Amino acid sequence: MDRPASGRIGGRVTIREVAEDAGVSVAAVSKVLREAYGVSDAMRLKVRASMAKLSYRPHSAARGMRGQTYTIGVLMADIKNPFFPELIDGIDDGLAGTQYVPLFGIGRGSSSLETTIVHALVDRQMDGLIMIGQRLPTADVEAIAREVPVVVIGHHEPNTMAFDSANNDDERGGAMVAEFLLGQGYKRPAMITLGRDDLGGADVSHKRELGFAAALRAAGFAGDNIYIAPAEDGLDDVTATVRALLAGAEPPDAIFGWADYYALEVLSAVRALGFRVPDDIGIIGYDNSAPCAFTQNDLTSIDQSGRELGREATRMLLERIAGRTTAQHMIKTPIVRARGSTQRPA
Q: Which residues bind its own copies (CB under 8 A)?
A: 9-10, 12, 57-62, 64-65, 69, 71, 79-80, 82, 84-85, 88, 101-106, 116-117, 119-125, 147-148, 264-265, 267-269, 271-272, 290, 294-297
Contact of residue 31 among DNA, its own copies, none (CB under 5-8 Å per partner type): DNA
Buried b or exposed e, range 239-275, using 16+ CB within 10 angstroms: bebbeebbeeeebbbbbbbbbbbbbbbbbbbbeeeeb
* Residue closer to its own copies, measured from CB, 56 or 180: 56
**Angle at which helices 26-34 and 15-22 pack, to 10 degrees?**
110
* CA dist., res. 153 & res. 306, Å (int): 10
Residues paired with 297 in a beta bridge: none
Q: Which does 124 bind (CB under 5 to 8 A by kind): its own copies, DNA, none?
A: its own copies
In angstroms, what is the minimal distance from the CB of 307 to its own copies? 13
Among DNA, its own copies, none, partner that 120 touches (CB below 5 to 8 angstroms by kind): its own copies
Q: 216 vs 61, 125, 259, 282, CA distance in Å? A: 55, 48, 19, 16
Partner that binds at residue 37, options DNA, its own copies, none, CB closer than 5 to 8 Å by kind: DNA
> With respect to its own copies, which residue has the nearer C-beta, 121 or 231?
121
183 Cβ neighbours under 8 A, 6+ residues apart = none
**Omega into 230 within 30° of 0, i.e. cis?**
no
Q: Residues of 93-107 as b/e, b for ≥16 C-beta within 10 angstroms? A: bbbeeeebebebbeb
Q: Which is nearer to DNA, 12 or 196 (CB)?
A: 12
Q: Which does 30 bind (CB under 5 to 8 A by kind): DNA, its own copies, none?
A: DNA
Q: Which does 79 bind (CB under 5 to 8 A by kind): its own copies, DNA, none?
A: its own copies
Residues of this chain that bind DNA (CB under 7 A): 6-9, 12, 14-16, 23-28, 30-31, 33-34, 36-40, 42-43, 58-59, 62-63, 65-67
Residue type, 298: D
Query: What CA–CA distance (Å, rounded) separates 133 from 120?
Result: 18
For residue 35, the minimal CB distance to its own copies (Å) is 18
